[in-house]
Amino acid sequence: MTAPGGRPDPLVERMRPYRSSIFAEMSAAAVRTGAINLGQGFPDSDPPAVVVDAAVEALRSGHHQYPPGAGIPELRHAVARHQLRRYGLEVDPEDGVQITMGASEALAAAVLAFCGPGDEVVVLEPYFDLYAAVVALAGATLRTVTLRPPGYTVDPDELRAAVGPRTRLVVVNTPHNPTGHVATLSELEVLAEVCCDRDVLVVTDEVYEHLTFDDHRHVPLASLPGMFERTVTISSAGKTCSATGWKVGWASGPAELVQSVRAVKQHLTYSGGTPFQHAIAAVLDDVEEVVADLRAALEHQRDLLCDGLESIGLEVFRPDGTYFVTADVAPLGAEDGLTFCRELPERAGVAAIPTQVFYADPDDGRTLVRFACCKRPEVLGDAVERLRVAFR
Ligand code: PMP
Ligand code: GLN
């Protein structure tokens, strides 16, 4: 294969399908056109004051040099207390918790630690785009189990068909990006049954664990019988503390698995983000209090955006949690979500993410579009009005 200009393509072949991320493309389009960015998921208001104050305090207390490779002990212990207090999961703060540069690094290190050529990795689709890229980086093969609207629940038969003798790892994301679905106990039971039955490793992505709405509550897959010993549980402070740029994440679970993640992680970044690790360590014991207002605000914003999108004719799949609302734009006459999203900044002054890019077969989500609701109410109101005018 050749790059533009006829020269050999310097990018390794297995990464060529992942050359550009949809988040970069749509955020750049938003900046270029001055559109309201409901694409990439990040809040447009500051973290709670207690979180910012903790970082300022850490910066003023001399925490500027490399942290230990495993992460600072204060944060590892705080993560262990969090897992025990909220979920009854007992992890060793020394060997069973690894601090990472966001959940992204934890996910990459886990996939690279466990998978290689010939291995299959099963993910629920639509999937967060990083999964496919790191599976490719590992030289492993991606298999998908499709979640379908309106409920976006796991189909037990599809799951059983996908997890086979070559499956090394199953990646489960709940609360789920991009659909906002929070796995129910019965779905988790099916996942646990299949993973135990086929004796596979499991990585869970729980970065939205604190951002659930109504009476939905997050339950870690690792808390089901037979699951702890095969599961690496991943989360991060980005969403919980409204500080997505801080990139403080963690992996926890049985020592043997976490040590493997650590072995790879140390060769990716070794370690970093010392003051932010201290800040999160200072607030994690009180995280429910820290996140309460944020969650209530987000639930209200979810309703505003869902009602607004419905009022202009979109079919909306109301999320149980996360930053995101998925809607079908076919009622607006759109036949392809990617084309729709590429035109949207110019046409309406709004940016969004075409969900089709998160499916192995784009036809499974051809006209679905993801809108971020983690923006101030007036911004969401403005975005809905812009869409109303554009599609009148
Ligand atoms: N997993 C999911 C499902 C996400 O939406 C994101 C985006 N923040 C990440 C992982 C990455 O998390 P972090 O920013 O902590 O690397
Ligand atoms: N998790 C965020 C999203 O899904 C950000 C993704 C990213 O920047 N890679 O929008």
**Res 1 pLDDT > 60:** no
Q: Report pLDDT for 3.
A: 59
Are both 89 and 229 inside the same structural domain? yes
Q: Does residue 92 share a domain with residue 64?
A: yes
Evaluate: CB of 322 within 6 angstroms of ligand 1.
no
Do residues 254 and 129 share a domain? yes
Q: Identify the nearest ligand to the CA of 206 by its number.
A: 1
Q: Which helix (H) or strand (E) holds 1?
A: none
* Cβ within 8 Å of residue 97, ≥6 positions away: 70, 71, 76, 79, 80, 91, 250, 251, 252, 258
Share of the chain above pLDDT 70, in %: 99
Distance between CA atoms of 131 and 108, rounded to whole angstroms?
8
Separation of CA 62 and ligand 2 centre (Å): 31
Residue 267 sits in the same domain as residue 143: yes
Distances (CA, A) of 34 to 27, 28, 346, 350, 351: 10, 10, 9, 8, 10
Per DSSP, 163 falls in state S
Residue pLDDT, tens place only, 16-40? 999 989 999 999 999 999 999 999 9
- Ligand 2 and 40: CB distance under 6 A: yes
Q: Read off the DSSP letter of residue 62.
A: T
Work out the percent of the chain whose per-residue pLDDT is above 90.
97
Decide if pLDDT at 125 tops 90: yes
Q: How far, in Å, from the CA of 237 to the mean position of ligand 1? A: 10
Query: Which residue type, as a one-letter code, is found at position 110?
Result: A
Separation of CA 38 and ligand 2 centre (Å): 11
Task: Tell me which residue range forms the domain holding 55.
Answer: 49-289
Give the H/E segment covering residue 25: helix 22-33
Q: Look at residue 6 in the predicted model and tell me its pLDDT.
A: 78
Closest Cα to atom 3 of ligand 2: 41
User: Does residue 41's CB lie within 6 angstroms of at least one atom of ligand 2?
Assistant: yes
> DSSP class of residue 100?
E
306 lies in the same domain as 270: no
Q: Among 289, 323, 349, give the residue marking a domain's end.
A: 289
Return the number of other C-beta atoms located less than 10 Å from residue 206's C-beta.
22
Query: Which of 247, 263, 289 marks a domain boundary?
Result: 289
Q: In this structure, which ligand is nearest to the CA of 244?
A: 1
pLDDT band at 110 (very low <50, low <70, confident <90, very high): very high
One domain for residues 94 and 235: yes
pLDDT of residue 4: 61
Shared-domain flag, residues 171 and 193: yes
Q: What's the whole-number average pLDDT of the chain?
A: 97
Residue 329: half-sphere exposure toward Cβ, Cα within 13 Å: 26
Which has the closest alpha carbon to 287: 67, 59, 75? 75
Residues 132 and 253 in one domain: yes
Atom of ligand 1 nearest to the CA of 101: 16
Q: Are residues 201 and 116 in the same domain?
A: yes
pLDDT classification of 249: cutoffs 50, 70, 90? very high
Q: Whole-model pTM above 0.95?
A: yes
- Distance between CA atoms of residues 153 and 156, nearest Å: 9
Residue 232: CB partners within 8 Å, gap ≥ 6?
106, 110, 201, 202, 203, 204, 251, 252, 253, 257, 258, 261
Question: Average pLDDT for residues 67-96, to the nearest whole number?
Answer: 98
Q: In what order do the strands lie in the sheet with 324-328?
A: 315-317, 324-328, 368-372, 353-354
**Ligand 1 pocket, 249 CB below 6 A?**
yes
Last residue of a domain, one of 289, 321, 353: 289
Residues 251-293 pLDDT 10s:
999 999 999 999 999 999 999 999 999 999 999 999 999 999 9
Q: Tell me: the pLDDT tens digits for 188-231?
A: 999 999 999 999 999 999 999 999 999 999 999 999 999 999 99
Report the run of H or E that residue 225 belongs to, with start and end: none
Is the pLDDT confidence value at 308 over 60?
yes
- Residues 225, 97 within the same domain: yes
The Å distance, Cα 138 to ligand 1 centre, comes to: 19
Decide whether any atom of ligand 1 lies within 6 Å of the 236 Cβ: yes
Residue 5 has pLDDT above 90, yes or no: no
For ligand 2, whether the C-beta of 23 sits within 6 Å is: yes
CA nearest ligand 2 atom 6, residue: 40
Tell whether 264 and 340 lie within a shared domain.
no
C-alpha distances in angstroms, 96 versus 89, 199, 257, 284, 292? 11, 21, 8, 17, 28
The partner residues of 36 in beta bridges, in order of sequence, read 350
Mean pLDDT across the stretch 105-115?
Answer: 98
pLDDT over threshold 60, residue 338: yes
Q: Kindly state the average pLDDT of the residues 361-386.
A: 98
C-beta of 104 in contact with ligand 1 (< 6 A): yes
Q: Is the CB of 260 under 6 A from ligand 1?
A: no
Q: What is the CATH number of the domain that holds 362?
A: 3.90.1150.10
Burial code (b: 16+ CB inside 10 Å, e: under 16) for 313-333 equals ebbbbbbbbbbbbbbbbbebe
**180: CA distance to ligand 1 center in Å?**
13
- Measured in angstroms, how far is the CA atom of residue 202 from the centroid of ligand 2? 22
Same domain, 92 and 137: yes
Domain count, the chain: 2
CATH number at residue 149: 3.40.640.10
Task: Using pLDDT thresholds of 50, 70 and 90, give the confidence band for residue 7.
Answer: confident
Kindly indicate the confidence band of residue 367, based on its pLDDT and cuts at 50, 70 and 90.
very high
Dump pLDDT digits (tens) for 133-170: 999 999 999 999 999 999 999 999 999 999 999 999 99
Q: Count of CB atoms within 10 A of residue 236's CB?
A: 30
Closest Cα to atom 1, ligand 2: which residue?
41
**CA 206 / ligand 1 centre spacing (Å):** 9
* Interatomic CA distance for residues 250 and 98, integer angstroms: 5
